[in-house]
Amino acid sequence: MILLEKIQCENKGFEWEKYASLIGLLVLVVVGIILNPSFLNPQNLMNILRQNASAGFLAIGMTFVILTAGIDLSVGSFLGFSGVVLALLIPHTGVFVAIIITLLLGALIGISYGWFITDFNVPPFIATLAGLSALRGIALVASRGGAVPVSNMFLIKMGVYKINPLVSLLISAVIVLYIIYNYNSKRNNNLIETIFIVLGISCFSYIIYSVGGLNIQVFLFLLAFGIFWFLLNKTVFGREVYAIGGNLEAAGLSGIKVKKDLILVYVMSATLATFGGILTAARLGTGAPNVGTGGELDAIAAVVIGGTSFSGGIGNLSGTFIGVLLMGVLKNVLSLYGVSSNAQMIFKGLIILIAVIIDTQLKHKNA
């Protein structure tokens, strides 16, 4: 390999565009603290994570879908749909079978999306728009328009159970040690990133300790995030997702089974959304048919704020993670300041717009 202008490449300096959403999040946190110091209360911080765990599940799936240049508009409806289905099933089948059936049902709907999109050439927007409407409809019809209560102890625990703080701290410590070890042993590692991650985990550990344990929903979200981060960044499938979104034709001619991958991506999105719905039902203690209305838009916003390109091929899950946090913190800060949830929508719209403008401007400069 002939290395050209290596020096200039290294002198490019701090890559602002890479950290734009992170900086945005930090600014928002500072604003939050100024507006209402109780924002910093560990219990509040943990609540932010807990309330946004299911939104996080939607955003993970959405990242994969958008990376293939697709879209899944139905994930919000899935929250209502799967909650109702689960709540209705539990009295008949018991909680475990009900969860499995609900998840399988979600996966099946994902397969059908993939099938419509790949075999019938229905644009993803349309296929999942149909799902958005139909799933919400099913949820409303099946529940007769009202919430279906859940009294199962296991499910209730899935909403409130806390993992022992010592166990949580141990896990955090292991992760931090692994990251530091990794930083030392690998080439090309980013010091700033490592510092941020280690700092983040340390703060998080403190929060866990202060509130007396790690909420199970938050734990499951973080676990899912880790698993899917690995899937996207370290596996053949992840590379194929990027290639399909970047150039469908080239991906196919490179021997990638495009159809199979696309179906899988929609199955993942649907199943993750179903799981998010189960967690929401657990947290609320009911299967509410109207829950998650507009959730798909929040998920899309989180993904886009995280720097994933709407035309596919560019983006990553760590950005989405920050996007989810940013949306969650925004909601929380505004609520603490006494802004009504109706007025919050205005701010949400503005933040999405600003995030994307910053992103495109910074990327344009470097194109």
Interface with another protein (CB under 8 A): 1-6, 8-9, 12, 234-237, 239-240, 242-243, 246-247, 249-257, 309, 313-314, 364-367
Side chain identity at 297, as an amino acid letter? L
CB 286 within 8 A of CB 150: yes
Question: Least distance (Å) from another protein to the CB of residue 221?
Answer: 23
Torsion, Cα 67 278 131 251, to 10 degrees, reads 20
CB 163 within 8 A of CB 216: yes
Give me the least distance between CB of 309 and another protein, in Å please.
8
The smaller minimum CB distance to another protein, of residues 244 and 325, is found at 244
- Cβ-based nearer residue to another protein, 1 or 153: 1
Q: Count the Cβ atoms, other than its own, within 10 Å of residue 364.
A: 9
CB of 177 to another protein, least distance (A): 21
Give CA–CA dist 168/130, Å, rounded. Answer: 41
Tokens 């590692």 locate to 189
Q: How far is the CB of 249 from another protein (least distance, A)?
A: 4
Closer to another protein by CB, 4 or 153: give it: 4
Can you tell me the distance from the alpha carbon of 102 to that of 278, in angstroms, rounded to the nearest whole number? 8
**Between the CA of residue 38 and those of 27, 35, 337, what are the distances in Å?**
17, 9, 10
H helix or E strand, kind and range, residue 215: strand 214-215
CB of 18 to another protein, least distance (A): 13
Structure-token pair, residue 225: 């995030």
CB of 312 to another protein, least distance (A): 8
